[in-house]
Chain A
Amino acid sequence: AQSVTQPDIHITVSEGASLELRCNYSYGATPYLFWYVQSPGQGLQLLLKYFSGDTLVQGIKGFEAEFKRSQSSFNLRKPSVHWSDAAEYFCAVGFNFGNEKLTFGTGTRLTIIP
């Protein structure tokens, strides 16, 4: 079955440090890939997405993600985190054009320490 895995439930990083959040999926063809962010008490906001083309995708708030077909991964990165980046991050995958829904990972909660 098609699935999305975010292996890290909770990550803590220091302000100013670099960040990488992992996302893996199981699927044979190239999927549609998304990263969303959810601040406390808010809805989900799109950070970036990959449909095709350049495998390194730039998003909002200084985030980027790289699609690696050989590893079935779409990891989210930021070179230097800010206290305002503390939130929950969700990876989502669309399998097959024409499919009716996205599959979401269970999320990674990011804590920033001063």
Chain B
Amino acid sequence: NAGVTQTPKFRVLKTGQSMTLLCAQDMNHEYMYWYRQDPGMGLRLIHYSVGEGTTAKGEVPDGYNVSRLKKQNFLLGLESAAPSQTSVYFCASSYFGTDTQYFGPGTRLTVL
């Protein structure tokens, strides 16, 4: 089992560019999450999904979009990147909402 994987591991963007982060899990989990982690601010939930074809807003959704076309994949998109989106992004998955979340290794994104 690979668990939760994230692609890419690192990325540098210029302001205004777009990109998609991919999260994949092989545990057949229904729930998937995208967080961002910034120094001193802990983890902040961006968007999440409670099953294939569903998405919902988290705490800090502005500037991001997500899609869950397949149960095992959860994509996070930045349509027009801004320096404020420089962060480390983590994906996580779980069987249900209050169950253990399993985290990916993270994607370090820098927006210049």
Give the contacting residue for A101; candidates B41, B97, B103; CB below 8 A: B97
Q: Please give, as numbers and ranges, the residues of chain A lying within 8 Å of B42 by CB-CB distance.
A: 90, 104-107
Nearest-neighbor residue (CB-CB) of B43 within chain A: A104
Nearest-neighbor residue (CB-CB) of A107 within chain B: B42
Enumerate chain B interface residues (CB-CB to A < 8 A): 4, 31, 33, 40-43, 45, 48, 50, 56, 58, 90, 92, 96-106
Q: Please give, as numbers and ranges, the residues of chain B lying within 8 Å of A45 by CB-CB distance.
A: 103
Contact check, A43 vs B103: say whether CB atoms are below 8 A apart. yes
Contact check, B97 vs A106: say whether CB atoms are below 8 A apart. no
Q: A34-B100, A104-B43 are in contact. List 4 more A-B contacts (CB 8 A).
A: A9-B40, A43-B104, A44-B90, A100-B97
Q: Please give, as numbers and ranges, the residues of chain B lying within 8 Å of A99 by CB-CB distance.
A: 97-98
From 81 to 114 in chain A, residues with beta carbon under 8 angstroms from any chain B beta carbon are 90, 92, 94-102, 104-107
Nearest-neighbor residue (CB-CB) of B48 within chain A: A101
* A–B pairs, 9, beta carbons within 8 Å: A42-B106, A43-B105, A44-B43, A45-B103, A49-B100, A90-B43, A101-B33, A102-B101, A106-B40
Q: Please give, as numbers and ranges, the residues of chain A lying within 8 Å of B90 by CB-CB distance.
A: 43-44
Inter-chain CA distance A36–B94, complex, in Å, is: 14
Assuming the contacts A43-B90, A101-B48, A106-B42, asked whether A96 and B105 have C-beta atoms less than 8 A apart, the reply is no
Instruction: Decide if A46 is an interface residue (CB 8 Å cutoff).
Output: yes
Inter-chain CA distance A99–B99, complex, in Å, is: 10
Instruction: Decide if A32 is an interface residue (CB 8 Å cutoff).
Output: yes
Q: Give the distance to chain A from B62, nearest Cβ to Cβ, in Å.
A: 18
Q: Please give, as numbers and ranges, the residues of chain A lying within 8 Å of B97 by CB-CB distance.
A: 94, 98-102
Give the contacting residue for B98; candidates A95, A104, A105; CB below 8 A: A95
Q: Give the distance to chain A from B106, nearest Cβ to Cβ, in Å.
A: 5
Q: Give the distance to chain B from A35, nearest Cβ to Cβ, in Å.
A: 11
Q: Give the distance to chain A from B46, nearest Cβ to Cβ, in Å.
A: 11
